[in-house]
Amino acid sequence: MSMKKNRWFLRLLVLLALSGALNVTITAAAEAGSADDPLVTLSYLNETFMDTIMDRVDEKIAQRDGQTGGAAASSFSVVTLTSGQTLVGDIGCEVMLRVGSAVCVAPSSPGLIDETTAGTLNNGGALVQNHLYMMTIEGRGVQATAATTKLLVRGSYTVA
């Protein structure tokens, strides 16, 4: 009887050892968070996954900022000029006359591109209120002819 009892005990011990080894092999083969191992620990999320996500977000932000040239180029600012002051814009600068009056200042034609009508405005031509104008060549600008002239401006410029 003791011999039979030892065989069962030996068989049970070998069976437990084999199932333990099989369990370790299956666990090692499964990647955390995959379909084979859907259970993810909080430490994995905090230490590995969040760092990966934050790196991707930083890359996307850097790509977006590099493509658009920054927030300043995408928003308008209000610029107030007094009579005789001139705003000279860099290439791509846009202006819209809101209050007062102003004329185009340009050493040659075309002076400004009227984006509203798809026309041009040459040196000395009066800006029309609420029309959007663009400087497409260096040295183009707008000179105030009223005591107070307000412009919406998008892009880089200087006032003299």
Same domain, 17 and 63: yes
Same domain, 87 and 119: yes
Same domain, 79 and 151: yes
What does the pLDDT average to over 24-36? 58
Same domain, 95 and 146: yes
Q: Tell me which residue range forms the domain holding 83.
A: 73-159
Same domain, 121 and 149: yes
Residue 126 DSSP label? B
CA dihedral 17, 22, 25, 31 (to 10 degrees): -130
- pLDDT tens across 75-115, in order? 899 999 999 999 999 999 999 999 999 999 999 999 999 99
> Does pLDDT of 19 surpass 80?
no
Same domain, 81 and 53: no
pLDDT of the residue at 68: 43
Cβ burial, residue 20 (10 Å; 0-12/13-18/19+)? exposed
Q: Map tokens 């000179």 to a residue.
A: 143
Same domain, 92 and 137: yes
The CATH number given to whatever domain includes residue 133 is 2.60.120.10
pLDDT of the residue at 16: 77
Same domain, 81 and 155: yes
**68, 95, 117 - which closes a domain:** 68
Confidence of residue 127 (pLDDT cuts 50, 70, 90): very high
Q: From CA 71, how far away is CA 83, in angstroms rounded?
A: 30
Give the predicted TM-score (pTM) of the model. Answer: 0.56
- pLDDT tens across 43-74, in order? 777 777 777 777 777 777 777 766 544 444 57
> Does pLDDT of 29 surpass 90?
no
Same domain, 81 and 96: yes
Q: From CA 78, how far away is CA 98, in angstroms rounded?
A: 9
* Token representation of residue 5: 């009892």
Using an 8 Å Cβ cutoff, are 77 and 153 in contact? yes
Q: For the chain, what is the domain count? A: 2
The closest of 160, 158, 154 to 69, measured between CA atoms, is: 154
Residue 152 DSSP label? E
Using an 8 Å Cβ cutoff, are 21 and 13 in contact? no
Same domain, 55 and 87: no
Q: What is the Cα gyration radius of the chain?
A: 36
